[in-house]
Amino acid sequence: MNSLLKSQRISAERTRPQSRTSKPEPRSLAALRRAAGDCRDCDLWKNATQTVFGEGPSRAKVFLVGEQPGDQEDLAGHPFVGPAGKILDEALQQAGIDRTEVYVTNVVKHFKWAPAQRGKRRIHKKPRFTEIQACRPWLDAELQTVKPEVLVCLGATAAQSLLGREFSVTRHRGQLVESPLAPKVVATVHPSSILRAPDAAARQSQMQEFVRDLTRIAALL
Ligand code: SF4
């Protein structure tokens, strides 16, 4: 195991709840994905269909990280394939970033949800800090393997878990942030926030801002 990864995993493991999973030495994304499939390091696996690990080229220059898989991602086993993923695809295309050249993942790899009061819908629940901490070694291992040029935090949960709990996406979106995680680190909104816009005009305006942030990111490459 490389010493940097080892030291990062050790520090992460000190702050997470008691580990029940022995993670094998990561040699490749495929090996990490297989190992994460059996992870039981927090309770989120119990109500989820499967682990949703990151996807993309092992040498991607751009690494996008969101909060957690949603309902459709949980069923499909792939990140960013639901409605928010479609917004992301469209915004990346408008910004001139090839989605197939980008690595996409989440700070938490299992879907956290609660049943809707009526019907069978599964309602997204925000992961707790301890759950994010428990999952952090997987994200660190992905970063150590891909070694991206630009790390992009999508939304407050990803940004605050990677850049500090006081980090404000509203104040600092699109700005370069000093971080040891990658040569260039930027935060912007999560594409799901655009889906929650109150009307079509607000959605269009939020989409334009999101594309503007991604266009700045494309210029960093
Ligand atoms: S959310 Fe992360 S730490 Fe928790 S069980 Fe799933 S893969 Fe493991």
Q: What is the CATH number of the domain that holds 78?
A: 3.40.470.10
Q: Are 169 and 203 within 8 A, CB to CB?
A: no
Identify the pLDDT of residue 16.
40
> What gap in Å lies between CA 159 and CA 156, rounded to an integer?
5
Closest residue by Cα to atom 4, ligand 1, is 42
**Residue bearing the CA closest to ligand 1, atom 2:** 135
- What is the position in ligand 1's atom list of the atom closest to the CA of 48? 6
pTM (2 decimals)?
0.88
CB 65 within 8 A of CB 187: no
DSSP 185: E
pLDDT at 22: 53
Nearest atom in ligand 1 to 21's CA: 8
The whole domain housing 115 covers: 3-15+23-219
- Helix, strand, or coil (residue 186): strand
Write out residues with Cβ below 6 Å of ligand 1. Answer: 36, 39-42, 44-45, 51, 108-110, 131, 134-135, 138
Kindly give the confidence (pLDDT) of every residue in the chain, 221 residues in length, as a single tens digit, with 9 standing for 90 and above: 433 333 333 333 333 434 455 554 557 999 999 999 999 999 999 999 999 999 999 999 999 999 999 999 999 999 999 999 999 999 999 999 999 999 999 999 999 999 998 888 999 999 999 999 999 999 999 999 999 999 999 999 999 999 999 999 999 999 999 999 999 999 999 999 999 999 999 999 999 999 999 999 999 99
Pairing of strands 176-177, 184-188: antiparallel
How many helices and strands, by DSSP H and E, does the chain display? 9, 7
Q: Put residue 214 in one of left, alpha, beta given phi > 0 → left and psi -120 to 50 → alpha.
A: alpha
Side chain identity, residue 221: L
Cβ(41)–Cβ(13) under 8 Å? no
Q: Which of 15, 52, 110 to mutate to test the pocket of ligand 1 (most atoms within 8 A of CB)?
A: 110
Please tell me the residue having the least CA distance from ligand 1 atom 3.
135
What is the domain count for the chain?
Answer: 1
